[in-house]
A and B are shown apart, each in its own frame.
Chain A
Amino acid sequence: MDALMNFGQGIFGGVWPAVWTLIKIVLIVAPLMLGVAYLTLAERKVIGYMQVRIGPNRVGPWGLIQPIADGLKLLLKEIIVPSKSNKGIFLIAPMLAIAPALAAWAVIPFTDTLVLANIDASLLYIMAITSIGVYGVILSGWASNSKYAFLGAMRSAAQMVSYEIAMGFSLICVLMVSNSLNLVDIVNAQDQGKFASWGLGFLSWNWLPLFPMFIVYLISGTAELNRAPFDVAEGESEIVAGFHIEYSGMAFALFFLAEYANMILVAALTSIMFMGGWLSPVGFLPDGIIWLFAKMSFVLLLFLWFRATFPRYRYDQLMRLGWKVFVPICLVWLVIVGVWMMSPLTIWK
């Protein structure tokens, strides 16, 4: 490592720290994009098996080259800009969708040292950056100058703003018990307690004492992603394809990439916040990045499973779930956790 640092210093001189950060960004984004590509394949395969089909199996062995073929096709297709659309915003919207999805990864810790930017308020940063993602959807809907796109954008905006509240409350519980906004500290705080000292680490993670918040976060996360069963923004039976109906080629692919990158992000956040991140579930196995990936894969499988299982929510049911069910649950559990922490029975010291 030191040799690499000296080598870089020698070649680039003063700008080496900037170059090194760029290299680290590439090291995060490139596997992420590969993950996105193979998540699409995994989705088609998993849903295929759940529906007693085979799924893609023609391109390469077991269909393994399918995502590359899809990507190439999308790259080569023409981007059609509708003549009555607002061209500038129409083209900026997909970029606004993908940029926050990538920027949020800057503070995600993979292990306690493997993190691009270990900032103090990384949880706040995540919440701020992910809340910008909604602009891609709203602006694409408006700039397309199409009623289906506009309806999709309106639905999506209302949905994302509503579920952000429940999501924020569940995160508040997490930061109360971990006494920090830093994601590394949040994971380290889950490594303490009676169960962790007995070598049963998975029982001291946040999912058990904050179980209602874990469920609320997972479901709100699905809703924030506009994934089934909350995909009213796309609702192909009602509004064709929602906000991205007018997009083709790579512009469409950017929305697609953003959605799947966000899925991986929410999976990573759920693993870090509630499932102990890189911590190993039992005492006799070492901690490591492999645990984080295993937990993320589990959450991603849940997302795919949801899509294969549940029918789409009706719009009013979706709003009722967000405002009348999740927000009261969160408020009550917030008070319970606060009282629990102050009482002699507290498990967080």
Chain B
Amino acid sequence: MDIQAFVFFFLSAILIFASMRVITARNPVHAALHLILAFFTCGGIWALLQAEFLAIAIILVYVGAVMVLFLFVVMMLDINIDRIREGFWNYLPLGAMLGLLMVMEMGLVLGSKYFQVPAADAMIPAGVSNTKSIGVLMFTDFVYPFELASLILLVGMIAAIVLTYRGPKKSKYTNPNQQVFVKAKDRIRVLQMPVEKD
């Protein structure tokens, strides 16, 4: 077994373990942490496949930003395990259906060799920057889908604000402009007091 295969199996073992723990851990914070580990290991496997841009991107975006906010929320929640367990049988049919769908999709992807789908030649010639080629493709051939995706994200962002906005709140705040332009004589007054005699 060469070193590359060894690294692959090592990372895969961690990835599978972490993914299992995401759904079996009782403590939601532990589950979130295992999800972070899963993303990180996934980045490692992608780097092994010479997709270094994707590998760094998943760590930058998912581990560095998305999961921080996720963890932020999970830590603040007061999660009652028993109450979550109550709904188990109600949600089972929907969950089972989704699970089956995902298994089918994964089977189609993994079985592409068996179904004899012509695979793209993934070997990268030396001296070609992965990052650069993705950038060039993104801003030439795929510029409309790319812009469309960013528009969808913008809509999602505005939707989240609209859904949670409860109108202006009466809150005390200080206006930074006024703070900056404040003068000493607005705040303190120096008085001249003659010395009192007897």
Which residues does A use to contact B, with CB under 8 Å? 86, 89, 119-121, 124-125, 127-129, 131-132, 134-135, 138-139, 142, 150, 154, 157-158, 161, 164, 181, 316-317, 320
Contacts and interface: CB of A to CB of B under 8 A. Distances in A.
Contacts of B130: 120-121
A163 to B, nearest CB: 12
Nearest to A121: B131
Label chain B's interface by main secondary structure.
helix
Contact of A161 (B68, B75, B173): B68
A125 B68 contact: no
Interface residues of B, number: 23
B36 A135 contact: yes
A142 B69 contact: no
A138 B69 contact: no
A112 to B, nearest CB: 18
Contacts of A161: 65, 68-69
A120 B53 CA distance: 9
Contacts of A89: 29, 33
Interface in B130-151: 130-131
B98 interface: no
Contact of A120 (B72, B129, B173, B176): B129
Q: Do most interface residues of chain A lie in helix, strand or loop, or is the interface mixed?
A: helix
Contact of B64 (A128, A150, A181): A128
B72 A132 contact: no
Given A135-B68, A157-B72, A161-B68, A181 B52 contact: no
A154 B72 contact: yes
3 nearest CB pairs, A to B: A131-B64, A128-B60, A128-B59
A140 to B, nearest CB: 12
B63 interface: yes
A50 to B, nearest CB: 25
Given A121-B56, A131-B60, A132-B63, 10 more contacts: A121-B130, A124-B60, A124-B131, A125-B56, A128-B59, A135-B71, A138-B75, A142-B75, A157-B72, A164-B64
B68 A134 contact: yes
A331 to B, nearest CB: 14
Given A161-B68, A317-B176, A131 B53 contact: no
Contact of A124 (B53, B75, B173): B53
Nearest to A141: B75
A338 to B, nearest CB: 13
A161 B66 CA distance: 10
Contact of B131 (A120, A135, A139): A120
A164 B56 contact: no
A138 B56 contact: no
Given A132-B59, A157-B68, A320-B176, A121 B29 contact: no
B52 A138 contact: no
Given A138-B72, A142-B75, A128 B56 contact: yes
B180 to A, nearest CB: 11
Interface string B97-133: 0000000000000000000000000000000011100
Contacts of A181: 131
18 contacts: A89-B29, A121-B56, A124-B53, A127-B60, A128-B59, A128-B63, A128-B64, A131-B59, A131-B64, A132-B63, A138-B68, A139-B33, A142-B29, A142-B75, A150-B75, A157-B72, A161-B65, A316-B173
